[in-house]
A and B are shown apart, each in its own frame.
Chain A
């Protein structure tokens, strides 16, 4: 087992814990006086302490221990909650985060952690007295710790009592202890798997085996065990001789001779056990084996252990999921090619096999796509803290809320949108929302409202950041845009689109001063380029005095989309089907010139009509007698696109461009078609 492999897991887990801690701190600051947030903070810090101790990250472990001691005082009501304490706790959470991120590099406690501790002690008074030692002896490696043989507690003569606790068991450790106590009344308890101490400290219902020698019969044993309460099942296994015992598989009815083989190194890490195991009292039950903490044992037979019906999760490196996705992408392309071949060959047996393979590939693709989806809450959860800090820094009151946390989106898309959303939130607090006095003077509530929302819109996820602030000063933007030459002199009004284009221009700012928060004029630009790189788009609406809303529209998944293939000249282009509303054959009745431009008249609607040939500057005229029109739509905007010919639909694998994006604004990526030829994917947003 390689400790380095766990370093990432440690960081991920710790970040999750820290985000819970921050959430709870905010809840307290917002007046939640219940125990829950304090307990949540406690749990988070405690978990980090246990994990860092196991990893040998002494500084983080010590810091969390100190923090925990102080929290204990808060929890027990010895330490009142004051504004200073809250600030100190926020600072401590930051320092802990810093420590977690740096833990791998070195062991000494960094400045941020030291300062945070001093501050905490200033506020709370007095250093904690409890002694804390990192559990792993120095020099002991995780590897050595992990290869400790499974407990020999069950080897030897006697009766094996297999116990499974109810999934609803509370204080399961106490119940397990009571089982052992009841068995002790009937005979001698020699050992248990997991060990008695571990059982006693467990917080979740469990399965365990106890070895006893007793004169009591099975029925009596079972009655005794059940009298301890919350026992779901008991199985008594009489032993004649004293062979080695099965250790990890309590449900195996056959007694396996010999010890479990040495633990294989387990490449997957089981999620969900970690926190629970670390929640064992570390003082009473030191975490003796890294495997205890990281649940390696569970990887051997998760089905056999843990009676609780907890969701079984496997942590997989994102790179592996990416690899899977790429493979399935290639498979989808090959499928297209095979289908084309099968059509030419016209062999019924081949067609049948092809149809079956095709369906399976489709299922595989859907599964892999789904496995990559994560709720946006994973990233959004850290924003309340950020908004609070920015608002405080600027002296503003902000009521921040998040909607649609549960909306799921592809992991790689989510990873990319964190930063853009941060830009938008900062901008909203800094430029959008007014100072409390200004708001009051304008007859608005002191606290500005800021809403971050996510929702599904067909195959897109829409993320909006909306404030009820002053709105964008169009006159100011207009005069500056004219001065910078972005719009022709004499322009009288900026519509929302042009407004967005102006403020998105790198270096454009109407802010008279640059604050630490924003105002450097890079924000919106960065948001737009990042969103477009993901195949999404950004819209803006702003009303003076009423507020501003930024809308990011993103694909739910990257990589594989269904597209309509259109031909212009000898080139084929892919139009993502998400944005295709309908297709038409071009007829004279459909096209009408309006103010010198051809417009598409479709039922009651009139919309701009573009010729793809012109858009890609191919020149020439169409070759065939007829042309076809694709009606594209995004949000409530539509346009017709004239192409030479529509070829058909195909699943395409989107390959992003690596190089410079300038000059490729029309395309969101490229793909290889089923016949092996490359094609460009139109960025519909840029056409509308």
Chain B
């Protein structure tokens, strides 16, 4: 999943500076790497995506987090956006849609 989003972004010329497997790791990596953009799953072990978004935006109000969600997680996505996520993409990923969302967030 992560690889897939990674591949789409790499092919579009983005550089992947770091990856995390859990919400906790994500928050730590964010603080260390300060990336331009984070793509994050809603459901993750350890600390969920929504809490991770909340912590990341608390640390950096300008953080740009793009949520990856499955169909049917509508209310969770709303929550993530309330927590500070800037946009979302829906699985299964279509490269064009992912890049569209990325551009919106970065634009």
In the complex, whether A455 has a CB less than 8 A from a CB of chain B is no
Minimum C-beta distance from A313 to chain B (A): 24
In the complex, whether B78 has a CB less than 8 A from a CB of chain A is yes
**Contacts known (A227-B104, A229-B100); A170 close to B71, Cβ less than 8 A:** yes
- Contact at A173–B74, with CB atoms within 8 Å? yes
> When each residue 175-211 of chain A gets 1 if its CB lies under 8 Å from chain B and 0 otherwise, what string results?
0011001000000000000000000110100000000
In the complex, whether A281 has a CB less than 8 A from a CB of chain B is yes
Minimum C-beta distance from A390 to chain B (A): 35
- Contact at B77–A171, with CB atoms within 8 Å? yes
Interface size class of B (residues with CB under 8 A): 10 to 19
- Contact at B104–A203, with CB atoms within 8 Å? no
Contacts of B75 in A (CB 8 A): 201, 281, 284
Interface residues of B in 67-92 (CB under 8 A from A): 69, 71-75, 77-78, 81-82, 87-88, 90
How many angstroms between the C-alpha atoms of A351 and B60 in the bound complex? 84
- Contact at B69–A181, with CB atoms within 8 Å? no
- Contact at A177–B104, with CB atoms within 8 Å? no
How many angstroms between the C-alpha atoms of A23 and B35 in the bound complex? 47
**Contacts known (A229-B87, A229-B100); A174 close to B81, Cβ less than 8 A:** yes
In the complex, whether B47 has a CB less than 8 A from a CB of chain A is no
Minimum C-beta distance from B49 to chain A (A): 14
In the complex, whether B37 has a CB less than 8 A from a CB of chain A is no
- Contact at B78–A174, with CB atoms within 8 Å? yes
Contacts of B101 in A (CB 8 A): 229
- Contact at B88–A174, with CB atoms within 8 Å? yes
- Partner pick for B74 among A174, A178, A227, CB 8 A cutoff: A174
Q: In the complex, which residue of chain A has the Cβ closest to the Cβ of B69?
A: A171
Contacts of B72 in A (CB 8 A): 39
How many angstroms between the C-alpha atoms of A284 and B78 in the bound complex? 13
- Contact at B81–A177, with CB atoms within 8 Å? yes
- Contact at B87–A171, with CB atoms within 8 Å? no
How many angstroms between the C-alpha atoms of A214 and B75 in the bound complex? 28
- Contact at B77–A174, with CB atoms within 8 Å? yes
- Partner pick for A181 among B71, B74, B81, B97, CB 8 A cutoff: B81
Contacts of A181 in B (CB 8 A): 81-82
How many angstroms between the C-alpha atoms of A556 and B41 in the bound complex? 52
Minimum C-beta distance from B83 to chain A (A): 12
Contacts of B74 in A (CB 8 A): 171, 173-174, 200-201, 203, 281
Minimum C-beta distance from A163 to chain B (A): 16
> When each residue 311-329 of chain A gets 1 if its CB lies under 8 Å from chain B and 0 otherwise, what string results?
0000000000000000000
Minimum C-beta distance from A177 to chain B (A): 5
Minimum C-beta distance from B80 to chain A (A): 9
Q: In the complex, which residue of chain B has the Cβ closest to the Cβ of A75?
A: B72
Of B71, B72, B82, B100, most A-chain CB atoms within 10 Å: B72
Contacts of A39 in B (CB 8 A): 72
Interface residues of A in 320-362 (CB under 8 A from B): none
Minimum C-beta distance from A182 to chain B (A): 11
Contacts of A171 in B (CB 8 A): 69, 71, 73-74, 77, 88, 90
Minimum C-beta distance from A228 to chain B (A): 8
> When each residue 143-179 of chain A gets 1 if its CB lies under 8 Å from chain B and 0 otherwise, what string results?
0000000000000000000000000001101100110
Contacts of A170 in B (CB 8 A): 71, 90, 97
Of A174, A200, A284, most B-chain CB atoms within 10 Å: A174
Contacts of A284 in B (CB 8 A): 75
Q: Which 4 pairs across A and B sit closest by C-beta, in order of nearness?
A: A170-B90, A174-B77, A177-B78, A173-B74
List 14 A-B residue pairs with CB atoms under 8 Å apart, sorted by A's residue number. Answer: A170-B71, A171-B71, A171-B74, A171-B88, A173-B74, A174-B81, A177-B81, A200-B78, A201-B74, A201-B75, A203-B74, A227-B107, A229-B101, A281-B75
Having A203-B74, A284-B75, one finds 17 other A-B pairs with CB under 8 Å, namely: A170-B97, A171-B69, A171-B77, A171-B88, A171-B90, A173-B78, A174-B74, A174-B78, A174-B88, A178-B81, A181-B81, A200-B74, A201-B74, A227-B104, A227-B107, A229-B101, A281-B75
* Chain B contacts to A: CB under 8 angstroms: 69, 71-75, 77-78, 81-82, 87-88, 90, 97, 100-101, 104, 107
